[in-house]
Structure 1
Amino acid sequence: MSKGNVLVVGSNATRIEIQGGGTGPTGQYLNELVVPVMALLAAGYDITFATPDGTKPFIDPVSDQTVHFDNDEAAHKRAQDFFANDRAMNSVKTLRAVLDGGLDQYVAFFTPGGQAPVVDLMQDPELGEILRHFHAHKKPSAFLCHGPIASISAMQHAREFRAALIAGDTPKAAKLAQGWPYAGYRMTVYSSSEEKPIEDNILHGKLYFHMPEALTTAGGVVDVGPDFAPHVVEDRELITGQNPRSDHQIGKALVAALSRVSVDA
């Protein structure tokens, strides 16, 4: 028998804005999505997978490499097969359908990274409604790598906040952030120094804003560890992981948080 249903939300973005105009390629990271999801399934939880438009996320080719699976070719192949073929990855709902179906059925929330959430999830009003429910009911909510930026959607003026960041108007962004449910929470996210190789070698341009600065402006207490080393921060119901190397750790932390909730219940 299932221990409960975990809502996993992915992005549909394939391009991200860069300074000076134009865009660069983006997507979700394969290991960041499948490693925690496989851990949840192995622990006895069901998965509901959703994206804004109800189609599967685009996997960033940069992430579809054995290096992200500790150079274990078998683990990489299992991840590819899981994403391509497992029912949990192929029964994708829209966020609207998730809301219409009722949020009380979900025991936890998870969003992976890759830069894609910076484009759509960060400013999605339906995701904001979902996250405000999880926050109000203190349900474990996990975000990995760039994923924590999706928590901005819980802001009443998320789109305007993002626009202010792109315009470089930090005071305006801070004012728009007032009332953000996660203000004062300790959290981690992909660091500015970790972002630089992607900007230099993949985007060939700079992002309009980096994740730690955006979350700090929103009112988060950002704690980043060493570059590309596993790092997970937990504060109340919020669980955040810094980078792709934190994939196993955030899966374990979310399963442990769910176990604690079950015991308390």
Structure 2
Amino acid sequence: MGIIEARDVVYEYVRRDEEGNVEGVTKAVNDVSLDIKQGDFIAILGHNGSGKSTLAKHMNAILNPTEGTIWVDGMDTNEEENVWNIRQTAGMVFQNPDNQIIGQVVEEDVGFGPENMGVPTKEIWERVEESLKAVGMYQFRKHSPNKLSGGQKQRVSIAGVLAMHPKCIVLDEPTAMLDPSGRKEVIRAVRGLNQVEGVTVVLITHYMEEIIHADRVFVMDQGKIAMEGTPREIFSQVEKLKSLRLDVPQVTLLAYELKKQGIPLPDGILTTDELIRALGLE
């Protein structure tokens, strides 16, 4: 069993009118099964309303399945006594860093989680230091979070989760509110955690450029997994992605259009360097 395993998971939202009567039921997640191994970098893609964020909230027991089961490090999320341990195992980072930052000073904010867990004071400060260094924010440890940019705040949020020593971090559209440079900062920090620290990463996003370094990609549509594969396998299917209302990285689209014009290029080109090499322009 992997670090996160979902089997036949269904989650239903019940819609009610003003009187509280049931108007209808929406299956936000519809019969999803997946298996995420320790140390993987997984990306979950989908347009707004595809169910990807709802699925993410199941991965640390914010939501429980209507049907089916999710195990986090072997613990069933439906069992109440597991919730505390599940949330220490799978940390969650949300879209808006302001919703997660509560301290007046960066290092105090990062130390809040371990302090709540009863970690000894000396170890808290060790964890704060290592977590801030891991996301490249150590030099800002004495700053007020209010003075930071969006990308810097989000890296502090990630450090706060990291300080709790989770085996897995689930990031629910962590760059949605950031500018392009902030997005790059955060994704670079996340990749470093995965490659250097060995933390399992589950990245929920609709930005295609963010997933080219993932080990595996799941594409969701109408609550189901519509596609699954490596980034190259996924981006080799440009027309299918378009039919799911998703873009592809600009360089992938350029290569696809050039290939349609008769230029011999491989499918699923992911980076500018790859395209330059394939065109023999080095």
TM-score (norm 2): 0.27
Structure 1 length normalisation: TM-score? Answer: 0.28
Larger Rg: 2
Q: Which has the higher strand share?
A: 2
Larger relative helix fraction: 1
